[in-house]
Amino acid sequence: MLYLAIDHHAKQITVCVRNEEGETMFRQQVSTRPEKIESSSATLGKLATDQICIDGVTSAAGRAI
């Protein structure tokens, strides 16, 4: 199984994929421009030959909610 982490900010997204042993299989920082995300998604899709676990976590980063 592979584990996918996505850290989304206003101007960039960091994507990291690790295997069960914790080894980084893929890591990339991408602009939030749609064409850059699409290009990165194509590369990431090549790794998706196995199951991928996605854990969605949000944070208010110190902001009142």
Query: DSSP H helical segments within 1-65, as ranges?
Result: 34-45
pLDDT for 64: 44
Whether residue 62 is predicted with pLDDT greater than 70 in this model: the reply is no
pLDDT digits (tens, 9 = 90+) for 36-57: 888 877 777 776 655 655 555 5
Which residue, chain included where needed, has tokens 């194509």?
42
Assess contact for 26 and 43: CB atoms under 8 A.
yes
Domain ranges of the chain: 2-54
Q: Is the pTM value of this prediction over 0.85?
A: no
38 token code pair: 């699409």
Q: Which residues contact 26 (CB under 8 A, 6 or more apart)?
A: 15, 16, 17, 43, 44, 47
Per the model's pLDDT, the better-predicted residue between 25 and 46 turns out to be 25
Asked if the model's pLDDT at residue 58 lies above 50, the reply is yes
